[in-house]
Every structure is written in C-alpha cells, then in structure tokens.
Amino acid sequence: MRTNQNHASAMPWWLAVTTCLFLPAVWITAAWADTTDETAGQATANTFNPTLPQHRPLKLSDPVAAAPPVDLDLVTGTIEERIERVLSVMTIEEKIGQMCQVAQFGDELGDAIKADLRAGRIGSLFYTGNAAQTREAQRIAQEESRLGLPLLTPRDVIHGFRTVFPIPLGQSASWNPELVEAACQAAAVESLEQGINWTFAPMMDVSRDARWGRIAESLGEDPVLAAELAAAMVRGYQGDDEQRGIAACAKHYVAYGLTEGGRDYNRAQVAISELHSVFLRPFEEAVRAGCATVMTGFSSINGVPPSGDTELVRKHLKERCGFEGLVVSDWGSVIEMIEHGYAQNRSEAARLAVTAGVDMEMASTTYQENLLSLIEAGALETDLIDDAVRRVLRVKFQYAMDDQRKQLSSTLEERRACALALATQSVVLLKNDSERLPLDPNKPGKIALIGPLADAARDQLGCWMLDGKAEEAVTLAAALREAIGERGQLTVAAGLESTIDQSAAGIADAVAAAKQSDVAILCVGEGWQLSGEARCRVDLNLPGNQSELVRAVTETGTPTILVVMAGRPLTIGDEAERCAAVLYAWHPGTMGGPALVNVLMGRESPSGKLPVTFPKHVGQSPLYYNCPNTGRPALAGTRALIGSGLSDFPEEQKYRSHYLDEDPFPLYPFGYGLSYTQFEYSDLELSRPAIEPGQTLAVRVRLTNVGSVAADEVAQLYVQDTYASLVRPVRELKAFRRVHLDPNESTILEFALSTDELAFFDNEAQLRLEAGEFRVGVGGDSTVPLSASFQLREATVASDRSLPK
C-alpha cells in the first residue's frame, strides 16, 4: 500500500525553509515552553466537546473482567502475518471491540473506560486530556488486556499541534507542496511527543462556497491543487519506511465541500461525472500516497449518507481503488443515518455502516450495542467483521507499535522556521497601487497599526486549534514593534474590541492615530470563532463595524494598507478600493506577525496565490473558476444594470448568464496574486500539434522577471477541452510550478501533459478520452489566455479504476 517512498523520506528541514526567510532569533525562542510538557495536549477553550453521556462499560458479553493474557507474538513477522496471528485467537467480542472508538473527556481515565480497555472492548481512544492520560490508557491496553493490542490514539491535529501553522486554506495559498509536507511533519513530531498516533487530517474536500465555515479547513476549489497538497500532507504526517510519523486521515469522504447552501451537514447533489472527475480525485491521490485511514462525511450524497454507501466506500474506495487502510465514521455519522431517514433504528444503522465498509465507529455506540446480535441472527457476515478488524490492526501495526523505524524528529527552531516560511508564502498581495508596498525598513516613519486583529494572538491561530497557546503566538503588533525599533514610531489602536464589535466608541482613537501617522495599516477580518465547523455565514462582508472603521481611517487621507485575516474569502471590494494596498493573510498561525512583517518590510516579496475565487457579493456563491460552460455565457465587460442609469442591458448582452444588480465576474480570480516585481510569460510552445492516447505533450514557456526584485512566481498551466460528449469546464488547472527568479533572470519552464490528464468521467463513471481540440495557456492566474492548441487524434473508454499499490 505504501508508495512513493523515496519522495516520502524525511526532507531536510532547511531545504524547505532556506528559500525564504529572515528569521530574527527572538521569534524562535521567546516565550516558548518545552513541547514535551505533559499538559500540552490539554484541550483549550475551543475544543470540540459535544454533549455525551458518561461512558459506561460496554455490554458485549459477560464477564466484564478481562481474561488472562495470552502468549501472543506481536513483533516478529510481516504485518500481514501478525494480523492473521492475532485474528486466529480473537473472540468475536474482541473483534467488535477493535471497531469501537470511544471519546474520553476530562483529566482522568474513568473506571468504566479502564475496565473496557482491560476487556479489549475499545480499539481507539481519543480526546484524552493530556499526554500522561494517553500513555496510561496505552499502558493498560498493552499490559493488562488479554491480547495486549495497542490503542489508536487520535486527535484533531488540523494545522499544527503546539506550533500552529496557517489554516489549511492559507497553506494552500502557498502552492508549495514541499513546505506543506514539512509543516505536517512538524505537527507529527509534536503529536508523537504527546502519545498521539493518528490525526483526523488532511481535509481534502473540494470547496467552492465561501459561506461554508469549513472552507477554512479545505485546500480550495481545485481538485489538482487539492490532490497534490493532500498527498504532501499525507507524506508529512506519516513519515516513511525509515522514520515513523502518525497515521493521516483523508476526510471527508466524499463531496462534503459541496454542501447545499453553504450550510454544514447539509446534503450534496452532484452528477456522477463530476463526482468522479473532481471530488474523488484528492482522495484517490491520498490513497496513492499511502494514506492510512479515510473518514466518511456527514452530508448525504445524492440521497445516501456516505457512512452507509456501499457503492462509494466498499466498492469504489476499497475494491476499485485498492485502499487497504481503515475507514472510520465521522463523529456520530453512523447513528445520524437515523436522523437522515436512511436507517430505521440503531441496529440497522450499524448493519448498513459495516456493510458499506465503515471499519470503526466514532463516538456513537451502535457497533458496541448491536454487532454481536446482528452476527448471531445471521444479518451480518463474519467475513465483514474480519475485514474491518484486519484494517484496524494494519494501522495499529504501522503506527501504534514500536518498530525498527525511528520516530520523526525536529528541533523547535526548525518547526518555528517552517511555520514562518509557510505563513510568509501564504500571504497574497491583492492590490499595490503606486507600489505603496513594501515599506522602507530603514525609514519606517510614523506607522498607525489599527484594527481588532492587529494584536489578537488567539484570532490569528484560527479555527480547529486545540493545542497551540495564544501567549506563544507572535502578533503583527509585536513583530512590527520589534522590526522598526528606534528607527520609527508605532501607534497601536484597535478601533474595535473584536471583529464582531458593532460599536463606534473606539473609532475616533483609530482616526486620530491615522491622522498623526505617515501610513496606516488596517488589520481586519474574522475572529477565529467565525470560521470552521458549523460556522457558516449568509453574509461575506466584514463583520461587526469593521467596514465603518475602514471608511473612517481611509477618509483621513493617510495612505492605508489593508491586512485581512480570515478563514474564508470575504467580499472586501469596497474596502479594497479605499486602500492603497491589500494583503490577505488568512489565519496565519503562531508566526503570523513576523510573516506579515517579512512582506510589509520587503524582506520577502509576496508569492501567495488564491486557492479559491473571491466573489464580489455573497449572492454569487458558489463561485469557482472551472465551471462548465453555458450556451449563453456573460460577455466580457458586462456590468450590473441597476445603478448604471440604463433602462436595459445593451442588446448583445440581454439574454445572457448574468445578474441585474452585480456583474457576474469575481472580485479576484482563482490563482491570482501580485508580487513586488513583474513577471512576463512569452514564447509559449507545444512539442507537437497532435498527440494520440498514451503520448505526452511538452508545453514550454519562457518566464522572465522583468522587475527589480528577486521573487517567486507560481506558474500555472490551464487546459480547455473545446468539444466533448459532456459539457466540460471552461478551463482546468493541470499543473503548476513555483519558480524563484532574480531581477532580469529568465528561464524556460516545461510541463509534461499526458493524455491521462485529458480524460474525464461520464455519468456511468466510465473514464473517457475523446478526440478533438484542446487549448492551452500558461500564466500567473486562471484568467491566462488559452493561446495555443493541439489535437487529440483518437478516443478511448476505460472503466478500470484500480490504483497502483
């Protein structure tokens, strides 16, 4: 199952980090406690902690007490030999126990959980309060149970553990798989120190709707970018044959990011062709990368909840794709099939989930309560139970037991440097009129730092952050104060108490600070609690009274730089128009302040590119670049009718796909991002005018830094299939490359475009490669002209979906 082992080998930390960064020593070591602190795993105020009944002993059979240990060799032989050795001595109750994941809250293990650990009735225990508790649970399972099997001890390590990296959507803005892989490796190191051996990440749901709160956890709207970054995350978390990390989990299988209306847990309806061409692609790439586990999602997909979908889980994921790892439900998603109306009762929910291929139930207890009676009644085959247990044991032997591999390791300084590098590369420059940025680091002058996020340590860490510490985050205020020192003057004025503050009491102080300064930096956006799971919005404007704060500050006439920290794209068109420069920083994590200083002061040229399309108005949502064409697309130059002074659209624009009160185009397109230099693409060339199935086309282009600043550019290759048996997207990203060029330096970029990348799925889930014309373009964002074309001469249809092991 493990593939790409050479690529997965431990990357030298400084290989990923040396591209970039000035790293003041003060930011590496200040206020940072040893991450081996036994309380580092303590749940913070934002821990996901739904109401659960107090755990009581699982009533699978009597007696409750554990049987005497057996002399079982768990060490020698291959993993598959050890699995069969264990299976041969397991009781049916012990097998069911391996399929049960129990949530533990509080600072101590309860007597009921201890009893079930000794009886072999728990296969996985998560949300333990601290490392000591986790290790005690592991000790009981291995030393006091009959079989001595280790526990899987997962935690939501979404974008870092103690060292907090940018939210995943921010990481995606770096378009840098190597650096993203290094970040996940750093998170794995800190997780291992706390006894954690499994993370519920990466989330690779292709996400097109900015209203959805969990877009913050996603890798954006494009399946190619999401797939490549997801595979990098898997490699980073899991390590390789020489260095062991923690098991990764591909979630949420599948199309959760398509949730209707942008409301969490809502249904998704998707054509079979698009399901296979777009939404399954990142999961299949994760399987190729050796991902150990997959999590089923909450939303029903075409009327079927994934936790009960035999076609998608057992047949597609396990059989067609050859996935040999563990499938776990999401929190309560098995029992929620009753609420969906798909299962009549708890027993049927358990039967449907096991039949579909869900090997372990998270949080709810339908497996614990019903599997034994279902087996005894002949409603479930024991072969299905054995298959599930094999998969659980396979992951345990890979990640929960000591073996010949060393654990992943790194130093605190390396992890902090990686966090700084990734935060810096995730910042996207959206506007820079008159080259207002960068600021002069030698003559910074008087700076007013304004806004509720200017010195908001917890907010910059973002959502789904369980184990980082706000007091260890370096804010923009702290970093900027350190950077300008005695050479300039910094005035900090929040203006608002928080991002949702509706008052105007502090705006006068912010205006006064701006009037007395040479430049104002306005730090606005969303607090951490406004994005993430179940944090969906119907309004994408700046919340609270932040728009009024922006208006008041910009009306002083002081040149203003807008810095936005948020978990989603926001409709900031009016605010951006008022400001001289705009930086989008997402929620940048522990090193967010120094990263922003790197960009503001010109230590690094901004190189981030948008992983999602930014709408002008929430009414455009969902808005994404690779939409299918329509027979009446909006014409370039179409503008809103209302407010134009016209009585109707011009004749040629009337019956087109547009709105009356806003134009149909994005505020900023997918892939967009400016730099402190200028890049020029020229001499686009194709290696041949036509190709046949199985051949590869070389696409070459010259990239030149025509400016005066050394910088990185993310070159993007887009393709359009101009004619097919199904309506195809207007364009699709096929490849990208991050390139560093000095001033006046030029290089030839070559992309290999195989015919496999031109294929698509029809509504019978058949993979089709159809003859015809394809157009190609390479540039800095998704609006690049598709100025070259080639022919594919033959067509094929292939139904084989197996993935290489």
Contacts (Cβ under 8 Å, ≥6 apart) of 559: 436, 518, 519, 520, 580
Helix (H/G/I), strand (E/B), else coil: 254: coil
Closest Cα to residue 265, out of 451, 535, 83, 459?
Answer: 535
Q: Measure the CA–CA gap between 574 and 576, rounded to whole angstroms.
A: 6
Backbone angles phi, psi at 353, to 5 degrees: -65, -45
Q: Which helix (H) or strand (E) holds 751?
A: strand 746-754
DSSP summary character for residue 189: H
Q: Do 358 and 307 form a contact (C-beta atoms < 8 A)?
A: yes
Query: 């680091």: which residue's tokens?
Result: 441
Residue 180: HSE in the Cβ half-sphere, 13 Å Cα cutoff: 27
Question: Which of helix, strand or coil describes residue 493?
Answer: strand
Closest to 327 (Cα-Cα) out of 259, 275, 252: 252
CA atoms within 13 A on the CB side of 160: 32
Closest CA to 576 of 598, 599, 606, 554: 554
At 184, which helix (H) or strand (E)? helix 177-192
Residue listed under structure tokens 């654990």: 407
Cis? peptide before 150, omega within 30° of 0: no
Question: How do strand 767-769 and strand 796-798 relate by DSSP bridges?
Answer: antiparallel
SS3 374: helix
What distance in Å separates the CA atoms of residue 658 and residue 499, rounded to the nearest whole number? 33
User: Are the beta carbons of 805 and 1 closer than 8 angstroms?
Assistant: yes
Catalytic residue among 116, 309, 330, 359: 330
Distance between CA atoms of residues 251 and 364, nearest Å? 18
Task: Report CA torsion sign: 322, 328, 330, 336.
Answer: positive
Q: Which of 637, 620, 633, 627 shows the shortest CA–CA distance to 569?
A: 620
- Residue 392 exposed, middle or buried by CB count within 10 Å (0-12, 13-18, 19+): buried
According to DSSP, residue 279 is labeled I
CA distance 690 to 405: 49
Please indicate whether residue 330 is annotated as part of the active site. Answer: yes
CA atoms within 13 A on the CB side of 323: 30
Q: Reduced to 3 DSSP states, what percent helix, strand and coil does the chain have, rounded to the nearest 5?
A: 30, 20, 50
The residue type of 245 is G
| Contact (CB, 8 A) for 742 and 638 | no
Residue 87 CB neighbours (<10 A): 14
Query: Is the distance from CB of 514 to CB of 563 less than 8 angstroms?
Result: no
Taking the alpha carbons of 200, 348, 368, 94 in that order, is the dihedral positive or negative? negative
Structure tokens at 116: 């079930």
CB 172 within 8 A of CB 220: yes
Query: Which amino acid is it at 475?
Result: T
596, containing H or E segment: helix 592-600
* Residues sharing a CB contact under 8 Å with residue 795, sequence separation 6 or more, in sequence order: 693, 768, 769, 770, 771
Active site (catalytic) residues: 330
